[in-house]
Amino acid sequence: IKKIIIDTDPGIDDAIAIFVALQSPEIEVIGITTIFGNVHTTLSTRNALHLLEIAGRTDIPVAEGSHVTITEGMKLQSSGYVHGTEGLGNQNISPPKGKPIEQTATEFLIQQASLYPGKITVVALGPLTNIALAIQLDPGFFKNVGQIVVLGGAFAVNGNVNPAAEANIFKDPTAADIVFTSGADVLAVGLNITHQVVLTDSDRGELAKSNGKFAKYLSKLLDVYFDYHHTAYSTRGVFLHDPTALLAAVNPSLVTYSEGVVRVQTVGLTKGLTIFYNKKKRYDEVTEWCARPSVKVAVTVDAPKVIKLAMER
Ligand code: BDR
Ligand code: CA
């Protein structure tokens, strides 16, 4: 069974992804690493510990990640309007009993990848800072890590923080560029995929009625997320970004992908833009692009099956 580390900024869709992971017999979650994004890193850590307590899985270690971006001059901005001010709806969370482990997220990632070479899948559900740091600090990391499944990017579609950029890439674009050009086995699941994966109001109604382990908790959490989508997209449904990436790691046949080079714009108006190039041809103007290692970019998804699996689990 696959060993998974979830790198996350919980986050309502992160919470769903974590619970889906814990209910997935095909995988073993061997750790959670935290990162800023939807909230600051300290709150991400608290939220991760909280979710594991709710799930009764305090045996899973939580390693706290970076508090700062690799990209210079970035001001961290939380996404309270999407996920609630503290990331998990607007519930009052009492301080968790557990604590993060001594190791930082990056130390934990490096250690686990070298302990189990080729066997770990990192599911990255927030900005890619911790993973880029692991790549920078350990020259063997990109080979030791089995696969990195990234929820991030918007491939040939608009972003969600602005027309150019998807949130996870936007919040540390240099880190994302490091990961995409590292030579690691990366599968990117972007908005071109996740905007097809919509959990409807009636799905939420089913969760509210269900006696499933996490169903009622999540149906309440989803209020804020539904409100945001209603305002931003005029829909009565929400995108299941992070659960889609998680399920693609659990069950690779849920997506198809194309292979090529991904580069990230790190400055200016289009900061966070992800460009995918999958042509073989090497005319002079694209040599620099083609010289970079390829990654996988998801191009189709079995959306009904993703929703079905997420609901079941
Ligand atoms: C990503 O940004 C965050 O708000 C979500 O948790 C998801 O990881 C979607 O762009
Ligand atoms: Ca997330």
pLDDT digits (tens, 9 = 90+) for 73-121: 888 888 888 888 899 998 888 899 999 999 999 999 999 999 999 999 9
* Residue 229 is among the residues annotated as catalytic for this protein: no
Q: Which atom of ligand 1 is nearest to the CA of 12?
A: 6
Q: How far is the CA of 80 from the centre of ligand 1 (A)?
A: 12
| pLDDT band at residue 226 using 50, 70 and 90 as cut-offs | very high
* Residue 241 is among the residues annotated as catalytic for this protein: yes
Q: Whose CA is nearest to atom 10 of ligand 1?
A: 167
| pLDDT band at residue 283 using 50, 70 and 90 as cut-offs | low
Mean pLDDT in residue range 157-177: 97
Answer whether 82 contacts ligand 1 (Cβ < 6 A). yes
Mean pLDDT in residue range 297-309: 98
Whether 285 shows a pLDDT value over 80: the answer reads no
What is the model's pLDDT at position 79?
85
What is the model's pLDDT at position 91?
86
Mean pLDDT in residue range 179-194: 98
Q: How far is the CA of 194 from the centre of ligand 1 (A)?
A: 10
Q: Where are the alpha helices (DSSP H) in 72-183?
A: 80-83, 105-115, 129-137, 141-144, 167-170, 173-180
Q: The complex's ipTM?
A: 0.98
Ligand in closest contact with the CA of 169: 1
Q: Which atom of ligand 1 is nearest to the CA of 38?
A: 4
Provide long-range contacts, Cβ within 8 A and 24+ apart, for 227-236.
228/81, 228/82, 228/83, 235/198, 236/200, 236/201
Q: How far is the CA of 39 from the centre of ligand 2 (A)?
A: 10
What is the model's pLDDT at position 237?
94
Mean pLDDT in residue range 288-312: 94
Q: Which of 50, 138, 241, 242 is catalytic?
A: 241
pLDDT digits (tens, 9 = 90+) for 42-79: 999 999 999 999 999 999 999 999 999 999 988 888 88
* 197 CA to centre of own chain: 15
pLDDT digits (tens, 9 = 90+) for 192-206: 999 999 999 999 999
Q: How far is the CA of 213 from the centre of ligand 2 (A)?
A: 22
